[in-house]
Structure 1
Amino acid sequence: MSDIAIKAENVSKLYQLGEFTTGSLNKDFERWWAKIRGKEDPFLMVGEVNDRTSKAKGNLVWSLKDIDFEIKKGEAVGIIGRNGAGKSTLLKILTKVTSPTTGKIIGEGRIASLLEVGTGFHPELTGRENIFLNGAILGMKKWEILKRFDDIVEFSGVERYIDTPVKRYSSGMYVRLAFAVAAHLESEILIVDEVLAVGDAEFQKKCIGKMNDVSKGQGRTVLFVSHHMAAISALCTTGLYLKNGRLVDFGNMNNLITTYFNEGKLKPKSTVWTGNEGDDNIKLYNCSIFPAKPENGFSTTTDLMIEMEGEVLKPLLGLIMGFTLWSEHDYELAYVLYDDAEGSVKTVNPQYFKKVFKIPANTLAAGKYRIEFDVGIQYVKRVIHDNCDIFFTLVNKDGLGRKFPAEGRGRTSMFRPNWTVKS
């Protein structure tokens, strides 16, 4: 028996943009005449890349192009890529909502899917009736559905409204029940799109735990699309990275996530930023981290000094500055703010300024980080941070270094800054 759950061979999907006619009776007739003679359509341009940032020259676009991969039974596979990369189109092909233009999908086993809010639910039916409807679609007997009914209702948390038509549900309730049905009913493959973002944080965590149990505990195959990289990294060991409808890479999930972020705003990677950002009131010139960058990264046991240098051009009520610390996967870890007015109105005269913040040793775990800088005026609080970024790597040389939670967020002041001022 094959251990392959899903296999894609040269899968492509072509979509037509705009109007389905040429807009001209004469051209429509030419198109029809070419068709009945078996000739190529004279008014279509085939082969454009699915890049949503560029203007199309023709009216056909490849949403997916030449996709090949194999997914083994019991694997949890993450699918990542920017908006418009073709992730949802691929899932719709896998679930046979639509068919590929070329190529084929070979799958073994029943598929339970959650692609959009309300997918597979009839709005006029109650939650109870929709559970049985979904089970019937999967080919399950009534007694099989009844066996899992209580678990589905308990997991969804909508017991009070189970006999209410789902058209009266909020989007969060819809997703709760839909995921519970997809995860608990008998299927060999579970496919979940990024609709979990509709749910609250507690339910998202609960869903990740359930998918982990479905994959590792029950040996079922899971495909998960999400922009939440901490969640997808925790669940999936293997991934697909799509870009402009093409498969960039298929392999280790953590390596793909790193590649995904490195192609975005994490370039170029430098421990020094030099520029001229600001307005007529205030400018930011230099941002850096020291001591000087070592060959293999800073040590987790060394104090890190973060320096900001700029100029006040006009008298200000108060100068504020600080920075936000981001993880390698672009999660906000901490926010530091220094208020020059110290709680009272204080005029800052035109001058050069330099502030130095300190991140104490053994505060951060080994890894890669990004710092985004802010500077502005008290009360007005116009912050300047576009493109004012620096990057650094911490190396754990002796086993010390505290680890941040995978979902660490929030604008909390985790470090007390030590600063100096130079006119």
Structure 2
Amino acid sequence: MSDTILKVENISKQYRLGLVGTGTISHDLNRWWYRVRGKEDPYLKIGEANDRSTKGTSDYVWALRDINFEVQRGEVLGIIGKNGAGKSTLLKILSKVTSPTTGKIKTKGRIASLLEVGTGFHGEMTGRENIYLNGAILGMTKKEIRSKIDEIIEFSGCERYIDTPVKRYSSGMTVRLAFAVAAFLEPEILVIDEVLAVGDAEFQKKAIGKMQDISRGEGRTVLFVSHNMAAVQNLCTRAIVLEHGKVVFEGDSNNSINFYLKSNTWKGINKHCLKKGVKNIIVEDIILNSANNQSKVITGQALIIKFILKKQMNKRYKNIRIDFKIDDVYGNRVSWFSSAINSQLTFDDFDDLGEMSFNFKKLSLVYGEYILSYVLIADNIEQENAQEYLRFEIAPGAYYKSPIEITPNHTSVLLDYNIDTNFKGLN
């Protein structure tokens, strides 16, 4: 018996921009006439890819085009892509909220969906009543729901408000209750679309833990859409990458994330970075130099990160401070540095250009790609705040005198240490 629980075959979805349906009686009649003669819809031959950043020439767009994939029982499949790539449309088709233009879906078992905050909830009904309503929609009997309701309420953290109408819930409370209902009423396939972004850190941790439990421990399947690459990496076993309504990559979660990040990110200086602040002083440039004044940054070698500062106003400034952080490409914080930590540091006023250098005798970051963000402060006033301003790569190098290769799978930050041994007197 095949262990495939979900099979998607040639799914496509076409929309007509700005209108409901085809928009004209002639188009509707034309489609009907082709259909009664057993011929293909003539409007399937027209339309453009769904690229939201460009102006098209056709009123028809393909939100999805020829999507094919299979999901195994107990698998957690990540679906990633930029805004407008077709992720939510795909999940709505899988959840039967909308129907595909072409193609078919084969499933084994019930599907529970968390597509938007409050989807499937009735605002006038209490939280408890909505649990029974959603359970009934999922095909559960009242007895089955009653046996799970205490666990659902406890997990959601909304016990005090469970007999209050849902319209009085905050968005965070609503998504907590919706997730608890979907997870505890035991659907064979759980579909989740970015709802974890609404919850707080505590809820996100509980939700990810619960999804791991139901997939690994209970053998149920999860389809997970998120822009949080760290969550996709930790939770998903496999992922597909959507772009303009098409699957452009499919593989394990790490390879899929790397493909997505490399195909959708800038290299070097991010010229489109939004810099906030008063900007009386700005960072004109950031220069990275490794050992022997080389531009290549290498693990275990010396590194200088030099900030070139430029005045925008002819004014004297004291207490110039730079804080910067380094994140990995998944958005996880790796390190943070500040010029204010060095109490011996003094600042002299400069006429036009000045510089501040951070010197690292032995770079302790493992090889890979990293992103630098900074804040520039002068006279206790934030001059610039630039997030994800510089993307740079660290090449492999020998941090330890060891034949063992240290990879990003082992760690992000390396530390110097010694090992003492004493085996005397041991049996």
Q: TM-score range by the shorter chain?
A: 0.7 to 0.9
- Contact residue 372 and residue 387 of structure 2 kept, 8 A: no
Q: 1:96 to 1:357 in 2, by over 3 A?
A: same
SS at structure 2 position matched to 1:92? helix
Q: Does 1:364 align with 2:373?
A: no
Write the distance in 2 (CA, Å) between the matches of 1:343 and 1:52. 52
Correspondences of 1:151-166 after superposition (within 5 Å)? 151-166=151-166
- Contact residue 283 and residue 312 of structure 1 kept, 8 A: no
2:59 alignment partner in structure 1: 59
Uncovered stretches (5+) of structure 1, i.e. residues with no partner: 271-277, 409-423
1:391 alignment partner in structure 2: 392
Correspondences of 1:136-215 after superposition (within 5 Å)? 136-215=136-215
- Contact residue 286 and residue 305 of structure 2 kept, 8 A: no
Task: Give the drift of 1:268.
Answer: 5.1
CA RMSD of aligned residues (A): 3.9
Q: 1:130 to 1:360 in 2, by over 3 A?
A: farther
Letter in 2 for 1:389: L
1:273 alignment partner in structure 2: none
Letter in 1 for 2:304: M
With the length of structure 2 as denominator, give the TM-score of the two structures: 0.80
Percent of residue pairs identical: 45
1:216 alignment partner in structure 2: 216
1:131 alignment partner in structure 2: 131
1:290 alignment partner in structure 2: 290
Deviations 1:259-306 (A, max 9, x none): 111123342599xxxxxxx9896562451131259899622x444321
Task: Give the drift of 1:29.
Answer: 7.3
1:309 alignment partner in structure 2: 308
- Contact residue 241 and residue 249 of structure 2 kept, 8 A: yes
With the length of structure 1 as denominator, give the TM-score of the two structures: 0.81
1:11 alignment partner in structure 2: 11
Task: Give the drift of 1:181.
Answer: 0.6
Correspondences of 1:37-116 after superposition (within 5 Å)? 46-116=46-116
Write the distance in 2 (CA, Å) between the matches of 1:219 and 1:293. 54
Write the distance in 1 (CA, Å) between the matches of 2:41 and 2:76. 43
Task: Give the drift of 1:244.
Answer: 1.3
Write the distance in 2 (CA, Å) between the matches of 1:174 and 1:386. 31
Task: Give the drift of 1:370.
Answer: 2.4
- Contact residue 324 and residue 336 of structure 1 kept, 8 A: yes
Q: 1:29 to 1:196 in 2, by over 3 A?
A: closer
Q: 1:360 to 1:108 in 2, by over 3 A?
A: farther
Write the distance in 1 (CA, Å) between the matches of 2:342 and 2:310. 16
Uncovered stretches (5+) of structure 2, i.e. residues with no partner: 271-277, 414-427
Task: Give the drift of 1:335.
Answer: 3.8
- Contact residue 279 and residue 384 of structure 2 kept, 8 A: no
Task: Give the drift of 1:390.
Answer: 4.5
Task: Give the drift of 1:229.
Answer: 1.1
Correspondences of 1:395-410 after superposition (within 5 Å)? 395=396, 397=398, 398=400
Task: Give the drift of 1:159.
Answer: 1.0
Write the distance in 2 (CA, Å) between the matches of 1:360 and 1:345. 21
Letter in 2 for 1:59: D
Q: 1:34 to 1:147 in 2, by over 3 A?
A: closer
Write the distance in 1 (CA, Å) between the matches of 2:307 and 2:114. 47
- Contact residue 326 and residue 373 of structure 2 kept, 8 A: yes
SS at structure 1 position matched to 2:48? coil
Deviations 1:200-246 (A, max 9, x none): 01100100000000000000001111111111110101001111111
- Contact residue 16 and residue 22 of structure 2 kept, 8 A: no
Q: 1:196 to 1:310 in 2, by over 3 A?
A: closer
